């Protein structure tokens, strides 16, 4: 029997509608909500991603600010733009699009963002809030995954969750969210140096694949009936594919996110939700 397809597009539609209602409520009080992006250089994938963010923001009723610097920009140039946006009261949320071109320090640029405008949820202060189980903007991709699990009623309490990948963008915050009180999964953080990685993954009730290797995870990695979350977006000659070999796994898993159309749409939806929440928090 084929797995249930966990459509991020469907969930993101619901999240964006909720965000638009909240933005409209603020507008009736004479309050706008603004999202800014800082893009450095001409990486094609980053340009597309930023363009999609602005389209989604404008569709939800946001003011949208696009700051694009050339690849020749210095670290000081990038941080100066971040400082300008920090001081701009019309900007409620801000994103520094990563990765930055070679020679620039993306982490240092993110640290210059006012944590109260951190739409990506990646500032060290907000990551610290996550570690302490305190409120704050969640990293967008892990936050989006949690919305998918909730939307489809995927049980987490008492399950074993294996997360393959340990980046601060996805893997580490994902482990914190799945292991949090009230979610209550038992979390294994696996990675490229984990012995018998396929065997470890095969024990997972929830498997999150976030390594950036096309179709690495086949049926050997998946426990029958498991929920498989594919974070990978890999450009190949055959188009976009995930880290999971979808065709090999779809008849083994109980539920699976597709690529494209799974986790990707939820990342942008979560950025919007973070931004309107930051605007509401500023008003309160």
pLDDT of residue 130: 96
Q: What is the value of pTM for the model shown?
A: 0.94
Q: Decide if 238 is catalytic.
A: no
Residue 281 domain flag: no
Please indicate, yes or no, if residue 130 is contained in any of the structural domains: no
Are residue 144 and residue 80 in the same domain, yes or no?
A: no
Mean pLDDT estimate for the chain: 95
On whether residue 272 sits in a domain, the answer given is: no
Catalytic position from the list 120, 205, 243, 245: 120
Tell me if residue 120 is catalytic: yes
The predicted-structure confidence for 214-271, as pLDDT tens digits, reads as follows 999 999 999 999 999 999 988 888 888 999 999 999 999 999 999 999 999 999 999 9
Residue 235: the pLDDT is 86
Name the catalytic one among 97, 112, 118, 245: 97
CA distance 44 to 134: 36
8-28 and 44-59 helices cross at what angle (nearest 10)?
50
The answer on 231 and 146 residing in a single domain is yes
Is 99 in the same domain as 207?
no
Distance CA 204, CA 222 (A): 7
Residue 6 is assigned to a structural domain of this protein:
no
Residue 145 shares a structural domain with residue 243? yes
Which pLDDT score, from 0 to 100, does residue 1 have? 62
- Assess contact for 258 and 248: CB atoms under 8 A: no
Same domain, 176 and 258: yes
**123 in Cβ contact with 279 (< 8 Å):** no
Q: Answer yes or no: are the C-beta atoms of 149 and 130 closer than 8 Å.
A: no
Spatial CB neighbours of 66, under 8 Å, sequence gap ≥ 6: 36, 37, 39, 50, 54
Number of domains in the chain: 2
Give the model's confidence band at 205: pLDDT under 50 very low, under 70 low, under 90 confident, else very high. Answer: very high
pLDDT one-digit tens code per residue, 155-201: 999 999 999 999 989 999 999 999 999 999 999 999 989 999 999 99
Distance CA 23, CA 53 (A): 16
CATH number of the domain enclosing 174: 3.40.50.720
Helices 263-283 and 44-59: angle between axes, nearest 10 degrees: 50
Q: Is 53 in the active site?
A: yes
Q: Which of 53, 112, 117, 223 is catalytic?
A: 53
Q: Do 99 and 147 reside in the same domain of the chain? A: no
**2, part of any domain:** no
User: What residue numbers bound the domain in which 68 lies?
Assistant: 29-114
């Amino acid at each position: 029997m084929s797995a249930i397809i966990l459509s991020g597009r469907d969930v993101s539609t619901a999240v964006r509608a909720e965000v638009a209602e909240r933005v409209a409520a603020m507008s009736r009080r004479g309050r706008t909500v603004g999202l800014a992006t800082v893009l450095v250089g001409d990486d094609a994938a980053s340009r597309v991603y930023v363009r999609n963010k602005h389209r989604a923001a404008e569709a939800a009723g946001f003011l949208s600010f696009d700051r694009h610097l050339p690849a020749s920009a210095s670290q000081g140039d990038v941080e100066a733009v971040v400082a300008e946006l920090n001081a701009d009261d019309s900007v409620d949320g801000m994103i520094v699009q990563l990765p930055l071109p070679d020679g620039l320090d993306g982490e240092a640029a993110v640290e210059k963002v006012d944590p109260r405008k951190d739409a990506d949820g990646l500032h060290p202060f907000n990551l610290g809030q996550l570690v302490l189980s305190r409120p704050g903007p969640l990293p967008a991709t892990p936050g989006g995954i949690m919305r998918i699990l909730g939307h489809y009623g995927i049980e987490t309490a008492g399950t074993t969750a294996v997360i393959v990948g340990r980046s601060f963008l996805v893997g580490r915050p994902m482990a914190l969210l799945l292991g949090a009180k009230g979610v209550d999964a038992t979390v294994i953080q696996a990675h490229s140096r984990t012995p018998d990685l396929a065997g470890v993954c095969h024990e997972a009730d929830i498997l999150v694949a976030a390594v950036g290797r096309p179709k690495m995870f086949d049926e050997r990695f998946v426990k029958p009936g498991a929920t498989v979350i594919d974070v990978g977006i890999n450009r190949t000659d055959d188009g976009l594919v995930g880290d999971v070999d979808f065709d090999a796994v779809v008849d083994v898993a109980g539920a699976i996110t597709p690529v494209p159309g799974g986790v990707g749409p939820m990342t942008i939806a979560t950025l919007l939700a973070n931004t309107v929440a930051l605007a509401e928090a500023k008003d309160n």
